[in-house]
Amino acid sequence: MNRKIETDLENILSLIACASDYGFEDDVLFDAFREMIGGELTEQEIEWYARSVEAEDGYGEEDYEAIKERLESFKNKYCV
């Protein structure tokens, strides 16, 4: 049985940003995420997501920098 599953960019970026924290950072998963986002990730989307996390209670500039770095690394490796 096959069901259609939908999500949004914010959820996918969240999964990418935390994948290494949970030991799920691998090519198969990240290729799937790349396909889900259509092979594109803009600097504006990275900035938007990193700033949205930074604005949450308990997060700060260090979290912003770490998330931005992880998403840029993903973009450079999988979205070129």
Residue 64 placed within a domain: yes
* Distance from C-alpha of 80 to C-alpha of 75, rounded to nearest angstrom: 7
> What DSSP character marks residue 54?
H
Residue 21 placed within a domain: no
Residue 55 placed within a domain: yes
Residue 60 placed within a domain: yes
Residue 18 placed within a domain: no
Residue 20 placed within a domain: no
Tell me how many domains the chain contains: 1
Which residues span the domain enclosing 74? 40-80
pTM, entire model: 0.92
Residue 33 placed within a domain: no
pLDDT digits (tens, 9 = 90+) for 47-74: 999 999 999 999 999 999 999 999 999 9
Contact (Cβ atoms closer than 8 angstroms) between residue 78 and residue 30: yes
Residue 74 placed within a domain: yes
